[in-house]
Structure 1
Amino acid sequence: MFRYLIRYPLMLLLMLLPGLGRAEEYAEQDLFSLSGFATLGAVYNSTDQADFLRDLSQREGAGYTRQLDFGLDSLLGLQLDAKINAEVSASAQLLSHRRYDNSYTPELNWGFVKYTPNDSVQARIGRLGFDVYMQADSRSVGYSYLPVRPPVDYYGGLPISYLDGVDVVLKHPIGEGIARLELAMGYAREKLPVQGSDHSLDLSGSPLWGGYLDYQLQNWQFRVGYARLNLENELPDLDLLLNVLRSPQLQSFPGPAQFADDAMIKGKMVEFISAGMIYDNGPLQIQLMLRRLLATTISYPDNDAGYLMLAYRVGPFTPYVSYSIVKPKVIKHDVGLPDIPAFSQVNGLSRLIQPYPLNDQSTYSLGVRYDVMRNLDLKFQVDRVDGRDSFQWANKQPSWDGRATIYSLTLDFIF
């Protein structure tokens, strides 16, 4: 019953409408409002030996597939808001962007009913933005943030953008600032491409819960967050390898069965821990973000990431610089089979599913945002990336030296 309600929030809204209050309390033009946002982007990769990705939800990017790419950052979103009465409202947001299957099929990014009995309490049910880390629930709205895209080293490894569930936000003044506590629980629904194959990992039905503690004081904002994802589904085609490793014929060797248990995805846990700070005072803006991702499967590496961004506005121009880094922590697991022709295929597949050769990736970025007019900006950014074996690239070729320069131009607007 709970899954049904959170999956169909707009149906729930229609069921509740008769008892939500008298619509005549509001002018007709205030009951519904339609808004939207869009980004038109172009990305050029200096190398054709690997695909640069915006995040892990994309299968292809700029570089190997095409050096000049117009779909990496481009997207379109439409949002419908309904104000039922002073306490109840609803929102639905459709988003079209490059997905795991290279399509731009619109998907429901938000779809919830919100109850706000007073200024201190807010509760929502439906499809909600996954916002345990700063700026996460608005990272599709290019106009709302400073750079061309949220730093890939930090946000790119966090592909979950929404959950189907409930959340509660409590606000309370502390000193001269405002503290906010959010608690959320529900289920993930997205699909992630499996690089090197045509398959995808389906997160549907995977329980997801977490929250954040946020404090805003004048020009400062601080946030710490935590979330936990329990993976419900196995990687496509991985069951075949796991069954081979657990077969009676290999049990005379000490490692295969344990390797299968370590490599499986289904039933494993992923934790997200984050901390961030933003200082925004007049022309000066500083952002510092740190996060840790921990996984109980060797098929996805633990990693730490962070970035520092400095910006200074001069009239309509805001130049900025940033440095970001991701450091996977990968321990090589030996499947325990002899390296002989009889086991070559099993050993080869076992090496593919554990990313033990991964190295650090770091990026220096330099860019400028030009606010052309109200609700319209133009951005140009240059990224110098160093990450030969980073898991945040696709279609990597053996001859690639791990370095690339990414040139990006975007036009963002809201309406």
Structure 2
Amino acid sequence: MKKVFTLLPLAVVCATQFAHAATDAERLAQVEQELAMLQEQSAYDTLADRMTINGFFTGKMVVANNDAGFDNATKNPNFGDGSKLGLQGTFAITDQTQVVAQIVGRGSDGWTPEMEWAFLSHDFDNGFVARVGRLRLPLYMYSDFLEVGYAQPWATPPADVYTIAPITSFNGVDVTYQHDLGDATLALQASYGNDSSSGEDNSVGKDVDFKDITGVSATLSYEDWVFRGTYFQTDLSSVHTGLPALGAFENEKGQFFGGGVSYDNGSFLAISEYTVSKVEGAYADTESAYITLGYRVEAFTPYVSYSYLKTTDDEMRAGSAPDMALLNWQRTTYSVGTRYDINHNLALKLDVTYAGDFDGTTGALTSNIDPSTYENTQEFDDTVVYTISFDAVF
């Protein structure tokens, strides 16, 4: 609008040149038309300044030495699971308030667009930032970048940790407070909301409602170090079935504890996270962790990872013996891979992962469950998965 008033005197002066050939009404109409054109141009410039659009893409292929199904990999190359395209738009309403939306299409879902983020954010200029809408559930160190493969060192985040929670986003509100402590920065985040999970996307096999999701997380950043702690709880409800272990929640409480630490000095990289999940009733309580070590050599970042997943309440859960056996999990995973940064926004990743040490359990793999009897077949004792991934941001 400032541009409009700056050019207004010039527009009026030009209009007077037609005084002998036009009536006052014609001159006024011409000036109004010129002003309207200037206002329209100004509006377009302002809109472009307020909006930014970014995107990311992952093209992934996974294949395994058998049909165990770890990371959805079988002997047939899979180009859908793990491949995704996302667009994120940010519109600044004011200098302190903005709207953010992220739409993601996944190859595993036929590339159907899904709203992953959609929230209004306001910065109070005193260290506090509040957001309301559809938000990311901040359980892990890489939760905010869970969809952006380029922002992660691995071809795939460690499944033993990052697949424990059946939901990644929720509808609600969060408040973050950030404060400088000398050379360190402390960020505290409190969240509240609700969400639901389809039986097609979780290990329960039934639709589950997550009510009163409440949690806090704290992140301390100091030079090359980042330390993080998280606690969340929720009430779970689902349709009762004949197999309580596989999906009966009646307002039962679920809890999640997580801790992580990372070190990155530009050359050496070390990341580790530890999680504990507890669910009342017949569902499994779990413990899981991973550690990743990497070293950057020019454009290459070779890495190794170790992780594990195990259930911690095998002798305490209620239910029949066959049902309980399905929720007894034990698994150890080893990975070796490398990342090659082709340029500033494109990376190629190669990874080989071995999963084994099931110790007579299903290893949390549905391929080891007989669909007709729901018994543990122990068909697969281990598996090797090969992954190639192209990750880009734009």
Q: What is the SS of the residue equivalent to 2:161?
A: helix
Q: Which runs of 5+ in 1 are unaligned?
A: 1-22, 54-60, 243-259, 337-349
Q: Which runs of 5+ in 2 are unaligned?
A: 1-41, 370-376
Partner amino acid, structure 1, of 2:387: S
**1:16-44: per-residue Cα shift (whole Å, max 9, x none)?**
xxxxxxx9798332211221111100001
What value does the CA root-mean-square deviation take over the aligned residues?
A: 2.7
2:238–2:249 CA contact under 8 A, matched in 1? yes
Out of 73, 77, 81, the residue aligned to residue 72 of structure 1 is: 81
Q: Summarize the Cα distance change of 1:176–1:404 in structure 2 as closer, same or farther, 3 Å threshold.
A: same
Out of 363, 388, 399, the residue aligned to residue 333 of structure 2 is: 363
Quote the Cα distance in structure 2 between the aligned partners of 1:369 and 1:185.
36
**1:371-405: per-residue Cα shift (whole Å, max 9, x none)?**
00111000000001115434532222636242111
Q: Summarize the Cα distance change of 1:267–1:377 in structure 2 as closer, same or farther, 3 Å threshold.
A: same
Q: How many residues get paired?
A: 344
Q: What is the SS of the residue equivalent to 1:69?
A: coil
Q: Summarize the Cα distance change of 1:230–1:404 in structure 2 as closer, same or farther, 3 Å threshold.
A: same
Matches for 1:15-164 after TM superposition, within 5 Å: 27-48=46-67, 50-53=68-71, 61-63=72-74, 67-97=76-106, 103-118=110-125, 120-164=127-171
1:186–1:208 CA contact under 8 A, matched in 2? yes
Counterpart for residue 231 of structure 1: 236
Q: Summarize the Cα distance change of 1:215–1:25 in structure 2 as closer, same or farther, 3 Å threshold.
A: farther
Q: Structure 1 residue 414: deviation in Å? A: 1.0
Counterpart for residue 306 of structure 2: 323
**1:304-336: per-residue Cα shift (whole Å, max 9, x none)?**
111111010001000000100112113346979
Partner amino acid, structure 2, of 1:405: V
Greater RCO structure (CA 8 Å; 6+ sep): 1
Q: Structure 1 residue 195: deviation in Å? A: 7.9
Rg (Cα) greater in structure: 2
Q: TM-score, normalized by length of structure 1?
A: 0.77
**1:270-297: per-residue Cα shift (whole Å, max 9, x none)?**
1110000010102111111111011102
Counterpart for residue 380 of structure 1: 350
Counterpart for residue 403 of structure 1: 382
2:362–2:368 CA contact under 8 A, matched in 1? no
Matches for 1:258-277 after TM superposition, within 5 Å: 264-277=248-261
Q: What is the SS of the residue equivalent to 2:90?
A: strand
1:195–1:394 CA contact under 8 A, matched in 2? no
Quote the Cα distance in structure 2 between the aligned partners of 1:35 and 1:263.
39
Q: Identify which range, 73-82 or 306-315, moves more after superposition.
A: 73-82
Quote the Cα distance in structure 2 between the aligned partners of 1:133 and 1:334.
27
Q: TM-score, normalized by length of structure 2?
A: 0.80
Matches for 1:250-329 after TM superposition, within 5 Å: 264-298=248-282, 300-329=283-312
1:25–1:85 CA contact under 8 A, matched in 2? no
Q: Structure 1 residue 209: deviation in Å? A: 1.1
Quote the Cα distance in structure 1 between the aligned partners of 2:96 and 2:224.
29
Partner amino acid, structure 2, of 1:51: G
Q: What is the SS of the residue equivalent to 1:165?
A: strand
